[in-house]
Structure 1
Amino acid sequence: MTALPETPGAHPDGAGQMVNGVVAYKSGTNLVKQGNEEAGVTQSRVIQTGEYAGLVSRALAYGADAFFVALLTGGSVTVFAMIASVVGGWAGELGHLISSSYLIFLPSIMAVYCALFWLLAGRTPGMAVLGLRVIRVDGSRIHWFAALVRALLLAYFPIGALWLVVNRRHQGLPDLVAGTTVIRVPVTPPG
């Protein structure tokens, strides 16, 4: 596929060009192809990367996801503890144990949440809102092992993500170890 020329005034929200029967958008230096010539699949695939996500957008996305996971987990633990206290006996002790240890397991829950979303969709809900996607450095979809390694490092060693400030591809330590990067993709409205 040939590179698209810069089109003055072209915007990735619908003003794409047809190249070999495929709609392609150029946003800065980030070329996104939608569709598949053979199968008619409408899944987006990054051809060239260039518009890497920065610290603020990534922190906001991760913060939104962490808030959602903490809220969901905390609510579930609270409901379980309340039911266990009503039942009494050993269930009350189990409820107390779970409610006192849930903060220890919260990073693991966050890691599983992120890894599953990255593996299945290439992004978490927080990343989708901000138009971010996790891909491998070569532009392909993230694999399960890279998703798991990246999620565990980000959950248990979040300070390592600050390396993205000095890296030219905006890769934090979890990205460097997993061989991934986070890019901006055009957010297209449904319909």
Structure 2
Amino acid sequence: MDAGIAAVLGALAGSVATIGAAMATGWAQREGARIAARSEHQRQRREPRHLVYKEFISKAELVRHRASIYSSLDDGLTPDYVTEQQVNELFEAATEIKAAATEAALVGPKKVTAAALAIAHLGSDLAAYAAIFRDLTEPQHQQIGKRSHRKLVRVAKEYQNSLDNFILRAQGALDDDGSRK
């Protein structure tokens, strides 16, 4: 190989290596800046989310507490067990949780939003099924009352599971440090 060609090829190889290193450095800096920006954004959102999630869970726990008597009972529930006061308390709690679910949905992320809205819907369903069951106490409604009771128990258990799911998703959202997409 001619010395001139070797010198040109050496210079070309050095230039390509320098350009490649510059590109890699630029990409690494951009990626580092992106991660830092995302981390800062997540940090700024964490505290407001924490407060909203805490309020939502507090209201949801109130519904869970009121519904626990339905989810732990068997088919031996007597028709007069669901009182007007219990139904009213469930409706009040379901209304409160709906407002709290809207707040939780606004602070996101999507997985937490979906879980919060599911809990709000189940809370409303739970109150409605308790009211239906309360109204079906007469002997001619015994068959419908049993189906209503089974539905009430199923929704109460589903509500409890959904609340547990929300808590796990909220914890995951609060643990997100912004380093992953």
TM-score (norm 1): 0.25
Higher RCO by CA contacts (8 Å cutoff, separation 6 or greater) = 2
Flag the structure with larger Rg: 2
Task: Give TM-score, length-normalised by structure 2.
Answer: 0.26
Task: Give the structure with the higher percent helix.
Answer: 2
